[in-house]
Amino acid sequence: MKTFLVIFFISLSTFVQSAPLRITITEGVIEPLPYAAPTFIGETGASNELANKITELVKNDLLGSGLFREVPKSSYISGIDKFNSPIQYSDWKAIKVQALLTGSVLVSGEKLSVKFRLFDVFSNNELGKGLQFNSTKQGWRRVAHKVADEVYSRITGEQGYFDSRVVYVAETGKKGSRKKRLAIMDFDGANSKHLTDGSYIVLAPRFSPTGERVLYTSYETGTPQIYVINVATSKRTVLKNRKGTMSFAPRFSPDGQSVVYSLEQGGNTDIYVMNLRNSSSARLTSAPSIETAPSFSPDGSEIVFESDRSGTQQLYVMSSLGGGAKRISSGDGRYGTPVWSPRGDRIAFTKQSRGRFHIGVMRVDGSKERLLTASFLDEGPTWSPNGRVIMFTRETQGETGVSALYSVDVSGRNLKKVKTRDGGSDPSWSPLGK
Amino acid sequence: MTKFSLYLCAILIIFLGGCSQNASTPFSTNGMLNSSSSKFEGNVSNPSSIAFFKNNVGDRVLFSIDQSDLDQSGKDILLGQVKWLQANVDYKIIIEGHADERGTREYNLALGARRANSAREFLVSRGIESSRIQTVSFGKERPVELCSNENCYSENRRAVSVVSNLNF
């Protein structure tokens, strides 16, 4: 699972590309790109089952992005019998396929080897080089996600996000006594696993920049305190704070060495930063108002947070050393849970306005606000590693109300529920797998 | 905390004949210790009982939307709590602050803390030693009423004084 051997093998194509196949992701409406992916060829009889599963999963990833449309297999004029056979471009052009993905799968004992090639049909050209991923059989889902990430990346020119994970709070039980457990899963809901046992409330887990550790808030000792858990070993440690205080809303700094968080003392909540190496902490805000939900800029120089110092919850940006904060939210309503995008150019937030909750994005200076969703209760956005998709919590109303994870493109398109076994809240998206 | 857990465990063994998994983190997990262990609360006719405190004195004060100021009825209830705590000096309280569901998670945690502290400050200003009072916020995590309208929200915006005669 851990390491993937990536082998480039020589492309058969000798054509020079003239007009490369490309989807440019913009804010506007995108016509999904028609592609075909004949079932990957099983190199042996024992390889056929995984060949089918891997082809399906690559398809789920690509279709799930909303950027691709599959041309049905029933309309194929020619098939792909052998991985290295020449491509009959005209057969694919005739059925309006623009991108053709071919692959082969070899299972040998516990080993899995997957090759794929991508073709730009209308320029009679291979797009990029053929690639081979080697893994164990159990790692087949990650291999499929990696193939899909490569396809996405070659066609959009941007990093993919399919080989990634989500840590969240799995919810079961009645609304008034909800059982909340820390859980981790693949971004598509597969391989879900609990990290805590549900005997105490846990809230708002946040991945470290490398995805190995997770910060979260826990009632394990009776008072909300911040813990850091190692994802691989489940070993957890508490970030010690003064007695009589409550600490919550933690996030890592981009270098993973510090944690910015909220600390409440005597009813007043302010923002602090703690150095994880020596446990020293520094206070970044000191106001009688509520200051919480801090999030670092990707370069670590600034922090966006929410405060009700003006009378209602609004968003502010300050230096990561503290000091003068500048308000950036200006619309009507209340703004909370700001999160800096991985590209550094936007801030996602929760907005409450006229009895509805929204997930929205704005530029770092507060301009170009756009609301992406609206419902009874949407909150807590997290960015996909490539900054193109936002996952968040949506809760339905009433006594039977439940929380679920949803995702939406930054363009506002492609809103959908994320598969989880139980209810889910407070997602945090990992960086892309290595 | 450890002392408290052990004590509660002992109580549970006496009354329920067992020490469940929850007993290791009793009030911390759900904020509803009193409601879940009524035998532990004593008889409501005994003015020194926790049952009397809950039913006759009043264990909670309510707040307006996004506010943590006490209104007159809240102050009246807290004055009753002051009297009771002065008459029952072996008892301590944990004040649990809560918010309704119409807010974001982190903000509601901070708001619940403000409410709990508002009640704490009032009790201290009327002479209760601050060492007898602890506060904790549950934000919007533990509503008592589950509907999604103001009838329920007004009951959920609360600070609840949970009494115990234990060290914490």
Token code pair at residue A238: 């508490």
Looking at every residue in chain A, the average pLDDT score rounds to 93
- Tens digits of per-residue pLDDT, B95-109? 999 999 999 999 999
What pLDDT does A28 receive? Answer: 60
Q: What CA–CA distance (Å, rounded) separates B82 from B110?
A: 25
- B 98-127: CB under 8 A from A: 101-107, 109-111, 113-114, 116-118, 120-121
What is the pLDDT tens value at each position of chain B, 168 positions in all? 334 343 333 333 333 333 333 333 334 333 444 344 455 788 999 999 999 999 999 999 999 999 999 999 999 999 999 999 999 999 999 999 999 999 999 999 999 999 999 999 999 999 999 999 999 999 999 999 999 999 999 999 999 999 987 654
* Cβ-contact A22, A156 below 8 angstroms: yes
CB–CB of B107 and A224 under 8 A? Answer: no
CB–CB of B25 and A219 under 8 A? Answer: yes
Residue B146 domain-assigned (yes or no): yes
What pLDDT does B146 receive? Answer: 97
Q: What CA–CA distance (Å, rounded) separates A419 from B33?
A: 34
Coil, helix or strand at residue A419:
coil
CB–CB of B106 and A244 under 8 A? Answer: no
Write out chain A residues lying below 8 Å of B116, CB-based.
267
Write out chain A residues lying below 8 Å of B136, CB-based.
222-224, 246
- Tens digits of per-residue pLDDT, A217-266? 999 999 999 999 999 999 999 998 888 899 999 999 999 999 999 999 99
Q: Parallel, antiparallel, or unpaired for β A68-70 and A111-120?
A: unpaired
Please report, for chain A, the start and end positions of each structural domain, with discontinuous segments joined by +: 5-156, 165-429
CATH number at residue B145: 3.30.1330.60
b (16+ CB within 10 A) / e for A231-269: beeeebeebebeeebbbbbbbbbbeeebbbbbbbeebbb
What pLDDT does A26 receive? Answer: 63
CB–CB of B113 and A246 under 8 A? Answer: yes
What pLDDT does B12 receive? Answer: 37
Reported ipTM? 0.92
**Least CB–CB distance from A269: residue in B27, B113, B121:** B113
Task: Find the helix or strand (DSSP H, E) in which A169 lies.
Answer: strand A165-172
Distance from CA of B84 to the nearest CA of A (A): 23
Q: HSE of A404 in the Cβ direction (CA atoms, 13 Å)?
A: 17
A88: left (phi over 0), alpha (psi -120 to 50) or beta: beta
Residue B127 domain-assigned (yes or no): yes
Closest-CA residue to A399 (of B49, B55, B37, B149): B149
Task: Report the domain count for chain B.
Answer: 1
Per CATH, domain A165-429 is 3.40.190.10: no
CB–CB of A262 and B106 under 8 A? Answer: yes
**CATH (residue range A5-156):** 3.40.50.10070
Q: How far is CA A33 from the centre of its chain?
A: 22
Instruction: Say yes or no: B22 contacts chain A, CB-CB below 8 A.
Output: yes
What pLDDT does A30 receive? Answer: 74
* Integer angstrom CA distances of residue A34 from A63, A286, A306: 10, 55, 43
* Cβ-contact A171, A425 below 8 angstroms: yes
Residue B25 domain-assigned (yes or no): no
Closest-CA residue to A185 (of A135, A238, A145): A145
Write out chain B residues lying below 8 Å of A292, CB-based.
106-107, 109-110
Write out chain A residues lying below 8 Å of B101, CB-based.
377, 395
* Cβ-contact A431, A211 below 8 angstroms: yes
Instruction: Say yes or no: B128 contacts chain A, CB-CB below 8 A.
Output: no
- Tens digits of per-residue pLDDT, A382-419? 999 999 999 999 999 999 999 999 999 999 999 999 99
Q: What CA–CA distance (Å, rounded) separates A236 from A230?
A: 6
Residue B18 domain-assigned (yes or no): no
For residue B90, what are the domain limits? 33-164
